[in-house]
């Protein structure tokens, strides 16, 4: 049995509705997971929501809601969107779940017992209005804290700290030993360099608690009921708490070990410091070995006309509205085709519409429709198996698709699949089946063209599975190909002699463009 491929996304913060960045990360991870399933590899795909914290507590308060009622409402929006977009996660990580709380508390207790934490009193500038400590970053150009913070006072507060700095040299060594290895720590490579620079500068320890007088909406410190744990011990631990990890001594970890280490799909903003520094140090403190450290697959950001998407700019793109208007396939396709994993891209509705019309409606949809219609008209829908001049080309593109997905580059895989569709459409124009059909002497040529097109479409329906699974299945239904899709079935020539195609049904209605 192949090893389980374990893949997670960042858990989305439930302080507001899902936006296009959240949708991208889910769709990217979903495509990678679906490709592995096509290979016959068992997959564990975990995603979820990060539900605790100060901002949630404040947002709920403003609305006069209990924090739990507030996050339940937002969580429902995320779940509805993932269902609409066909996200095929195997497990759901919601950080208010008892299994998670138990695991986090067990981890905290274990690290407290083994001397990885200490309590300390530190002072800082505190905004009474915003109920938060301010850092140097919050000072304006004049060196003062702006009026948005209201009254700012200097206060001293006791908290718990994780001895982070003592992991610095180990972390540098890990980054170096795993760079350019078959099991990289950070993908893409240039992000590993960025992480390394940050680790070089690492000096302080990590504050991991908040007194309950300031924050109640969190997981209570098991060794001190006056505190909750703050942000990272809560959020990052989801990757193991929902994969069966149990921090108690002597626990049975066999399920967990079959699901670990995972590939974490995260945005570039949460590599340094949370995933690249805190998380790896936390795992090490818990006793994870070097070869049990995860892989961090770091994707870029979708921007809007070159600018960051933000509530204050009012330019947040709502994926639920787009999926409603254009259909989930159009949105998935655009989010996977128009960005190279690791790089940023600009979100554009025009590009979404153009790609859908040009690639899905014109190239793939028309090819399927023409092929089924011609085979019906000229051959009553029955194929004759023959050799094909495109067999080598299509097999080569299927291999390129597989390699691109293996290296987490759906846009390159989509490109390889599109080359097949383009080549097939050119083949129709070059061979003009409507002319061949008029000449009895060309019957064998016509059979050859119809087989080439149908077989290419069958293979294409597998290559499209990770990106637009519903339409890929519909293509197979129209081709009357009932076998389970798999990478093994991308081999040329599996449609048997005498195969009967089904009825053509338009798959990708064109989007009417605004003049």
Q: How far is the CB of 358 from ligand MSP (least distance, A)?
A: 24
When the beta carbons of 135 and 254 are compared against ligand MSP, the nearer one is: 135
Nearer to ligand MSP, 269 or 292 (CB): 269
Give yes or no for residue 70 binding ligand MSP (CB under 6 A).
no
Provide the phi-psi class of 193: left if phi over 0, else alpha when psi is between -120 and 50, else beta: alpha
Point out which span in 109-117, 163-171, 267-275, 389-397 binds ligand MSP (CB under 6 A): 267-275
At 247 the three-state DSSP class reads coil
The least CB distance from residue 236 to ligand MSP, in Å, is 5
Does the protein bind ligand MSP through residue 269 (CB under 6 A)?
Answer: yes
Closest CA to 122 of 11, 212, 211, 249: 211
22 binds ligand MSP, rule: CB under 6 A: yes
Q: For residue 256, how many C-alpha atoms fall within 13 Å in the half-sphere facing its CB?
A: 16
Please tell me whether residue 346 binds ligand MSP under the rule CB under 6 A. Answer: no
- Of 177, 178, 171, nearest in space to 196 by CA: 171
Q: What whole-number distance in Å separates Cα of residue 107 and Cα of residue 174?
A: 23
Minimum CB separation of residue 347 from ligand MSP in Å reads 8
Rule CB under 6 A: say whether 296 interacts with ligand MSP: no
Which listed residue (4, 6, 7, 24) binds ligand MSP by CB under 6 A? 24
Interactions with ligand MSP, residue window 84-143 (CB under 6 A): none
C-alpha to C-alpha distance for 15 and 458, rounded to whole angstroms: 44
Q: Does 301 bind ligand MSP (CB under 6 A)?
A: yes
CA–CA gap between residue 150 and residue 128 (Å, rounded): 7
**160 touches ligand MSP by CB under 6 A:** no
Minimum gap (Å) between residue 157 Cβ and ligand MSP: 24
Show the beta-strand stretches assigned E in 163-311. 186-187, 206-207, 209-211, 219-221, 224-229, 263-267, 295-299, 302-303
Closer to ligand MSP by Cβ: residue 11 or 320: 11
Task: Answer for the pair 456, 494: CB distance below 8 angstroms, yes or no.
Answer: no
Q: Does the protein bind ligand MSP through residue 234 (CB under 6 A)? A: no
Interface stretch with ligand MSP, choices 4-12, 59-67, 220-228, 419-427 (CB under 6 A): 4-12
Query: Closer CB to ligand MSP, residue 334 or residue 378?
Result: 334
Helix (H) or strand (E) holding 20: helix 20-38
Q: What are phi and psi of 303, to 5 degrees?
A: -105, 170
Task: Please state, in angstroms and rounded to a whole number, the distance separating the CA atoms of residues 401 and 461.
Answer: 13
10 contributes a contact to ligand MSP by CB under 6 A: yes
Q: What's the angle, vertex CA 292, arms to CA 288 and CA 295, rounded to 5?
A: 130
Measured from the CB atom, the residue of 5 and 24 that comes closer to ligand MSP is 24
Q: Is 21 in the site for ligand MSP (CB under 6 A)?
A: yes
236 binds ligand MSP (CB under 6 A): yes
Among 5, 13, 217, 492, binds ligand MSP (CB under 6 A): 13
Residue 223 or 288 having the CB closest to ligand MSP: 288
Q: How many CB atoms lie within 10 A of CB 381?
A: 18
> Taking the complex as a whole, how short is the minimal distance between the CB of residue 268 and ligand MSP, in angstroms?
7
Task: Give the shortest CB-132-to-ligand MSP separation in angstroms.
Answer: 17
Q: Is 7 in the site for ligand MSP (CB under 6 A)?
A: no
Provide the minimum distance between the beta carbon of 267 and ligand MSP in the complex, in angstroms, as a whole number.
2
Position 309 contacts ligand MSP (CB under 6 A): yes
Exposed (0-12), middle (13-18) or buried (19+): which is 306, by Cβ within 10 Å? exposed
In angstroms, the CA 183 to CA 202 distance is: 25
Between the two ends of the chain, the Cα-to-Cα distance in Å is 55
Strands ordered across the beta sheet of 152-162? 132-134, 117-127, 152-162, 206-207
Taking the complex as a whole, how short is the minimal distance between the CB of residue 24 and ligand MSP, in angstroms?
5
Residue 260 near ligand MSP by CB under 6 A: no
Residues 342, 296 contacting (CB under 8 angstroms):
no
Q: Total binding residues for ligand MSP by CB under 6 A? A: 19
User: Which one of the spans 21-29, 186-194, 442-450, 492-500 is the region binding ligand MSP (CB under 6 A)?
Assistant: 21-29
- Identify the sign of the CA torsion 128, 133, 138, 142: positive
Taking the C-alpha atoms of residue 264 and residue 234, their distance in angstroms, rounded to an integer, is 16
Should residue 405 be labelled a site residue for ligand MSP when binding is judged by CB under 6 A? no
Cβ-proximal residue to ligand MSP, closest one? 267
Give the interface segment with ligand MSP, choosing from 81-89, 230-238, 241-249, 501-509 (CB under 6 A).
Answer: 230-238
Among 27, 47, 50, 192, binds ligand MSP (CB under 6 A): 50
Retrieve residue 68's tokens. 């739990």
**Positions in the binding site for ligand MSP (CB under 6 A):** 10-13, 21-22, 24-25, 50, 235-236, 238, 266-267, 269-270, 301-302, 309
């Amino acid at each position: 049995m192949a090893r389980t491929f374990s893949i997670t996304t960042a858990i989305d913060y439930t302080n507001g509705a899902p936006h296009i960045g959240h949708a991208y990360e889910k769709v990217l991870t979903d495509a990678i997971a679906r490709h592995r399933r096509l290979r016959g590899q068992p997959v564990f795909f975990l995603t979820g929501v990060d539900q605790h914290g100060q901002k949630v507590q404040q947002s709920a308060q403003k609305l006069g809601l209990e924090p739990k009622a507030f996050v339940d409402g937002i969580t429902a929006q995320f779940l509805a969107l993932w269902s609409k977009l066909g996200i095929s996660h195997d497990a759901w990580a919601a950080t208010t779940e008892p299994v998670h709380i138990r695991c986090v508390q067990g981890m905290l207790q274990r690290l407290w017992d083994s001397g990885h934490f200490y309590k300390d009193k530190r002072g800082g500038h505190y905004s009474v209005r915003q109920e938060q400590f301010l850092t140097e970053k919050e000072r304006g150009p004049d060196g003062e804290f702006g009026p948005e913070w209201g009254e700012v006072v200097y206060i001293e507060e006791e908290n718990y700290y994780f001895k982070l700095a003592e992991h610095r040299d180990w972390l540098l060594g890990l980054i170096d030993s795993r760079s350019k290895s078959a099991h990289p720590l950070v993908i893409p490579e240039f992000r590993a360099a960025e992480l390394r620079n940050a680790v070089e500068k690492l000096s302080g320890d990590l504050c991991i608690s908040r007194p309950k007088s300031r924050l109640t909406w969190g997981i209570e410190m098991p060794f001190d009921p006056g505190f909750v744990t703050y942000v990272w011990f809560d959020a990052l631990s989801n990757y193991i708490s929902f994969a069966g990890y149990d921090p108690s001594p002597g626990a049975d970890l066999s399920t967990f070990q079959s699901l670990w280490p995972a590939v974490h799909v995260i945005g570039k903003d949460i590599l340094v410091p949370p995933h690249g520094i805190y998380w790896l140090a936390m795992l090490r403190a818990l006793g994870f070995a070097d070869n049990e450290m995860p892989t961090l697959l770091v994707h870029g950001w979708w921007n809007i006309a070159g600018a960051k998407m933000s509530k204050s700019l009012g330019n947040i793109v709502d994926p639920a509205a787009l999926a409603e208007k254009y259909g989930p396939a159009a949105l998935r396709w655009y989010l996977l085709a128009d960005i190279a994993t690791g790089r940023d891209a600009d979100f554009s509705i025009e590009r979404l519409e153009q790609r859908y019309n040009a690639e899905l409606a014109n190239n793939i949809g028309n090819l399927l429709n023409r092929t089924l219609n011609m085979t019906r008209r000229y051959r009553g829908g029955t194929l004759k198996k023959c050799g094909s001049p495109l067999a080598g080309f299509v097999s080569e593109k299927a291999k390129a698709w597989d390699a691109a997905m293996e290296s987490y580059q759906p846009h390159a895989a989509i490109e390889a699949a599109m080359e097949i569709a383009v080549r097939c459409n050119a083949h129709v124009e070059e061979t003009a089946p409507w002319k061949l059909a008029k000449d009895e002497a060309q019957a064998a040529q016509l059979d050859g063209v119809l087989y080439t097109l149908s077989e290419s479409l069958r293979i294409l329906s597998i290559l499209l599975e990770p990106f637009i699974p519903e339409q890929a299945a519909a293509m197979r239904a129209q081709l009357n190909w009932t076998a389970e899709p798999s990478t093994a079935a991308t081999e040329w020539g599996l449609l048997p002699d005498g195969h009967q195609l089904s009825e053509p049904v338009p798959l990708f209605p064109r989007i009417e463009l605004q003049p």
